[in-house]
Amino acid sequence: MVSRTTDDYVAMALAGCEAICEPAFWAGFDRASEKGFYDYFRQITDYEPRRAAKFGLKHYSWLCINPKEAEDVSLAEAVLALIPEFIDQPNVLGIGEIGLNKNSRNELKVLEMHIDLAARHDQLILVHTPHLEDKLKGTKLILDVLASDSRINPGRVIIDHVEEHTAPLVLDRGFWAGMTLYPESKTTPHRAIDMLELYGSEQVWLNSACDWGISDPIAVPKTALEMRRRGYDAASIDRLLYQNPASFMSQCPKFAIDGFSGVVGA
């Protein structure tokens, strides 16, 4: 949301959205030092929730150094050292989006550092998986690293940007799967619904990826329209698009939205 205008907040509010969760992300350019991250964490834990509140929307965030900037291990160490100062902010749900970008050795090391931080602070985890030809290998590496840490409960981890060839790997091992809707890459609503028909909708959520590129903050409500067109009833649409993400996020006691009863897990 730090890259979006107030028009996007208006569109989401009108489409019936109640809450947004914003992962710590690449800024569109590599930050020069950990000081850039310090200000970014202030922005997504303090200023952006207040901006969203003006439109009646709750704003939650995740903290990390994203995989695109995780090649520099000493920068990553300096950024991770800042996170405990922000982790108890009322809108912080956990650590993310961590993961891999090019599947490099340094990225893996930084991924392990983040998983350790999440375990020590009992945080939910949001994971980015690489794009295109790196996705399958990267997803397998990430799942193995998570599984090798006995402190990590897969039901408290969401693996984002799954596709047809990675969704079953993620779900079979007890993790949540995120399907990311994006106009130019990642998944379209049609493709996401096709995947749901293949793999079911237990422990799955859909999200709209929003950044500086061409992206659609109301891709999730648009998917609800497409599900209606395909004959899904209101209850199953509500379960997938609303109850599922609320169930996952409410494992963090800070998550609270008016319309959700607080039932956790599938």
Please give the size of the binding site for Zn ion, defined by CB under 5 A. Answer: 2
Stretch that binds Zn ion, among 30-38, 102-110, 126-134, 193-201 (CB under 5 A): 126-134
Question: Taking CB under 5 A as the rule, does residue 128 contact Zn ion?
Answer: yes
Question: Taking CB under 5 A as the rule, does residue 135 contact Zn ion?
Answer: no
Site for Zn ion in 38-97 (CB under 5 A): 97
Smallest gap, in angstroms, from Cβ of residue 53 to Zn ion? 25
Which residue's Cβ lies closest to Zn ion?
Answer: 128
Smallest gap, in angstroms, from Cβ of residue 10 to Zn ion? 25
CA angle, residues 173, 179, 184, in degrees to nearest 5: 140
Q: Which is nearer to Zn ion, 115 or 227 (CB)?
A: 115
Site for Zn ion in 169-208 (CB under 5 A): none
Smallest gap, in angstroms, from Cβ of residue 178 to Zn ion? 9
Smallest gap, in angstroms, from Cβ of residue 161 to Zn ion? 6
Stretch that binds Zn ion, among 127-135, 142-150, 186-194, 245-253 (CB under 5 A): 127-135
Q: Which is nearer to Zn ion, 204 or 227 (CB)?
A: 204
Q: Which is nearer to Zn ion, 207 or 247 (CB)?
A: 207
Smallest gap, in angstroms, from Cβ of residue 179 to Zn ion? 12
Point out which residues pair with 20 in neighbouring strands. 59
Binding site for Zn ion (CB under 5 A): 97, 128
